[in-house]
Structure 1
Amino acid sequence: MPLVVFNQKGGVGKSTIACNLAAISASQGLRTLLIDLDQQGNSTQYLLGGPADEAQPTVASFFDQSLGYSFRQAPATDFVVTTPFEGLHLMASSTRLDELQSKLESRHKIYKLREALQELAQTYERIYIDTPPALNFYTRSALMGARGCLIPFDCDDFSRQALYTLLQNVQEIRADHNPHLSVEGIVVNQFQPRAKLPQRLVQELVDEGLPVLQPYLPSSVIVRESHEQSRPMIHLEPAHKLTQALVALHDGLHAARA
């Protein structure tokens, strides 16, 4: 079942969480795909070590086909590239996503990704989707085609206010377009257990009955090293406390979904 990692607020660790969960799935022997729908291409850079448009093909190639720019309708797997990590494949981002968006909207291609996800699910046991920090065409396409949505939360008040809007938007998409969509949980990121504000904000979310997942992901500078080396935490430092928290989050999430 495809899992969307989504937040309309930028800088909350969306790409980091998506890539690391995907890398953990692949490290456990599962055929895994990550789809990078964010034109910034952070997930693509993280997994491939180079700019998004150095990868060929890209997710833009898939959307080109849906617009009829290709005489041959290739299967969705043709738009997937390998990564340096065994079992982990990528549908890479492209800077062309922005220019394609208005064309896709005007020609009502909002369900093309859902069709592709159904096809890709025949090949991949786990599919993760990294989305832009906006409720645009690509994010809506992902939410309409997925079964679950994972929401990163970075422990500040702006993120909390954005969270309520996001939950309402997901509810509307579920009601109008995808009754199978559910919020799998809120991932607390960059958590500092000794700081009062993060503790209070997270506890208030729990008290409100929101699906806050355990464990909380601790704040650590090693994430920057992971990005710089283009190596997810499970490959960089498997024994690190952040890696262990990510593995526990991954295993708990998928146990609940089973």
Structure 2
Amino acid sequence: MGKIISIANQKGGVGKTTTCVNLAASMAATKRNILVIDLDPQGNATMASGIDKYDVDFTAYDLLVEETPFNEVVCKNTPAGYDLIAANGDVTAAEIKLMEVFSRELRLKNTLVNVIDHYDYIFIDCPPSLNLLTINAMAASHSVLVPMQCEYFALEGLTALMDTISKLAAVVNHDLKIEGILRTMFDPRNRLSSDVSEQLKKHFGNKVYRTVIPRNVRLAEAPSHGKPAMYYDKYSAGSKAYLALAGEMLRREEILMT
């Protein structure tokens, strides 16, 4: 059975979508079957996967609200090497429409039950807010991966996010746990970054990935070309970092399985 991981942070601009797309591409490069679900109405993960969000027949809206069959909604074999449930502005309406639906917070979970065995990993790119779309993602997931910058306000936001995850676990998904905390846009020359990094390791221990994602121009440029970093510049520091993260996650899974 596959593993469903929500990539979430209520603070915007922390590398959430960048992490979703590049981690998915790195996992796909190891010959795993990967699905990315874009639940952010901005559709950035969709565009970064090489799919034009303005030129898709179906989106996450159709999957969640219209109950369109999964096989009709999914974009197979994107240029990024994985399958994709796309998003665009239509997904904004999903939150409103879901308010009228019975068991609305379980809509995504019930859909994925029938396809989870087809994938090794399913990554969900969540909106940067706590809404019905994020709640659907959390309800469907086994765990949450939290990307965050090593700065003071991000540390405060992490405390709030952990509290939110605990409350959601109690209500919609008792098995939900933290997959890991990923330090993004890291600059080792910055004293504050190093201090916050040490605080993270002190408080969260091995939940903090050893892999650190650096500030990297190529990583920032790749989405505008509709590609994950490994297909834009495989030798870039950002590309290598996400390949290292994929390797670290797979090793963790192997240890848990033994």
Output the TM-score relative to the length of structure 1. 0.91
- C-alpha distance after superposition, 1:188-231 (max 9, x if no partner): 00000111010001111111235211111111111222112111
Q: Distance in 1 between matches of 2:123 and 2:108?
A: 13
**Residues 190, 230 of structure 1: alpha-carbon distance in 2 compared, 3 angstrom cutoff:** same
Q: CA deviation at 1:86?
A: 6.5
User: What's 2:58 paired with?
Assistant: 57
The answer as to 2:101 corresponding to 1:107 is yes
- Structure 1 residue 188 corresponds to structure 2 residue 183: yes
The one-letter amino acid of 2:73's match is F
Is the Cα contact below 8 Å between 1:7 and 1:152 reproduced in 2?
yes
Structure 2 CA distance for aligned equivalents of residues 207 and 64 of structure 1: 43
SS in 2 for 1:226: helix
Partner of 1:47: 49
CA shift, 1:183, in A, is: 0.4
Matches within 5 A, 1:231-246: 231-246=227-242
Aligned length: 250
Contact 1:101-1:137 at 8 Å conserved across structures = yes
Q: Which moved more, 1:204-213 or 1:137-146?
A: 204-213
Taking only the aligned residue pairs, the percentage that are identical comes to 27
Which amino acid counterpart does residue 242 of structure 1 have in structure 2? G
**Shift of residue 146, structure 1, vs aligned partner:** 0.5
Q: Deviations over 1:88-132 (max 9, x none)?
A: 111000212222312202323211100112222122222110000
User: Distance in 2 between the 1:4 and 1:229 partners?
Assistant: 25
Match of 1:247 among 235, 243, 246: 243
Aligned mates of 1:181, 1:100 — CA distance in 2: 23
Contact 2:11/2:157 (<8 A) preserved:
yes
* 1:3-14 equivalence runs, <5 A: 3-14=5-16
Compute the displacement of 1:87 (Å).
4.1
Equivalent runs, 1:1-258 vs 2, <5 Å:
1-50=3-52, 52-66=53-67, 74-85=68-79, 87-108=81-102, 109-210=104-205, 211-258=207-254
Q: 5+ residue gaps in structure 2?
A: none
Gap runs ≥5 in structure 1: 67-73
User: What is the one-letter code of the residue matched to 2:33?
Assistant: R
Structure 1 position 242, deviation (Å): 1.9
CA contact (8 A) 2:145 2:179 kept: yes
CA-atom RMSD in angstroms = 1.6
Using the TM superposition, name which of 157-166 and 93-102 deviates more. Answer: 93-102
The question of whether the paired residues in 2 share the 8 Å contact of 1:35 and 1:129 is answered with yes
Structure 1 runs, 4 residues or longer, greater than 6 Å off: none
SS of the counterpart of 1:159?
Answer: helix
Summarize the Cα distance change of 1:112–1:222 in structure 2 as closer, same or farther, 3 Å threshold. Answer: same
SS in 2 for 1:39: coil
Q: 1:83: how far off?
A: 4.8
1:71 corresponds in structure 2 to none
Residue 161 of structure 1 aligns with an amino acid whose one-letter code is: E
Residue pair 2:51, 2:78 contacting (<8 A) in 1 also: no
